Amino acid sequence: FINASVENGTVGATQNAKDNLKVVFTSLHGTSITAVPETLKRAGYKNVSIVKEQEVPDGGFPTVKSPNPEEPAALKMALELAEKEGADIVIGTDPDCDRLGVAVRNSEGELQLLNGNQTMIMMVDFLLKKWKYENKIKGKEFIATTIVSTPMLNKLADAYGVENKIVLTGFKWIAKLIKDYPELDFVGGGEESFGFMVGDFVRDKDAVTSTLLACEIAAITKANGSSFFEELIKLYVEHGCYKEKLISLTKKGIEGAEEIKQMMTDARQNPLTIVNGSKVVKIEDYESATSKNLITGETSAIDIPKSNVIIYYTEDGSQIALRPSGTEPKIKFYVSVNSKLDSINGFKTLESELDSKAETILKDMNLI
């Protein structure tokens, strides 16, 4: 990390590293076109190609079905341009420029869209590494994420000796931590739905600073003879490989709302005891703000505002969260599975196994 990143006594991508990075950016007809390209230019990134067909702000979003960077289809034109130009990284932002989708070259040299948890893991680790190098970790620092995001953030926090504060879904809760804990220093944090916040100067998810951060990581890792993707796999080797899967069930109308309500009632009154052959060892119910250990029978309080969310924890380390949407006729199921990764070379096989395990859990719950 340090080899190619020290310039004038600070940690960051050197100009040579920036010059060697090829970036493709799309604003998806949104507002980021006014800020992101200029930010990258001022930061010294010269090889930035913009998807011209999508650079004009247009609320009709004529070139995409949905301008959501979580959807692979939204970045189709950007990925095609990146292949044509041999770009190292693709970044697309949503209409109001608070979330970003990132695609990087994988081990086979193919462009691969990362999920929000993977991008967040890399950004948090990079920031913590930087803080550690600059001797800024003094025991009063914290990162933050949400109750449905990857548990791997806990591993990173422990490795660097900082606290990981976990809050409800929604960036207002992450930003509120900065006000609630003025004696602590916020490093960065995010959520699985492609939002990230760097430091405390923009107290909301912000795709401008996050885009710059993603480019810094890509530039430095490439200059060091590695890559954004390879460094992610190295983190999996060090801390365990975590994979998450989300499915969302739409239930429209009054009947749909009642069906969602009944699903949550059933989950509380008749909780799962075994998921995919593994015992459920703990259940967190955020509506009653209680956590129950099913092994000891002990119940403890959850110090988080109440919310209609239930999370199951299994003996093999899997997590399954149930959360109805507050704005749409949907109920979401978040599955997190993990396993030890012995080497970088074993990642592809293990990833496939974890993906299959997540699918099996959802089938076992009759969700797919």
* Cα–Cα distance for residue pair 336/116, rounded to 1 Å: 13
Provide φ and ψ at 295, rounded to 5°: -85, -45
pLDDT score of 66 more than 60: yes
Does 11 have pLDDT greater than 80? no
CA atoms within 13 A on the CB side of 361: 33
SS3 category, 183? coil
Q: What is the DSSP letter of 99?
A: B
194-246 pLDDT tens trace? 999 999 999 999 999 999 999 999 999 999 999 999 999 999 999 999 999 99
Please name which of 164, 107, 129, 100 lies closest in space to residue 1, comparing C-alpha atoms: 129
Where do the H-state alpha helices sit in 181-280? 207-223, 228-239, 253-269
Is-contact 189 141, C-beta < 8 A? no
Asked if the model's pLDDT at residue 2 lies above 60, the reply is no
Q: What percent of the chain has pLDDT over 90?
A: 95
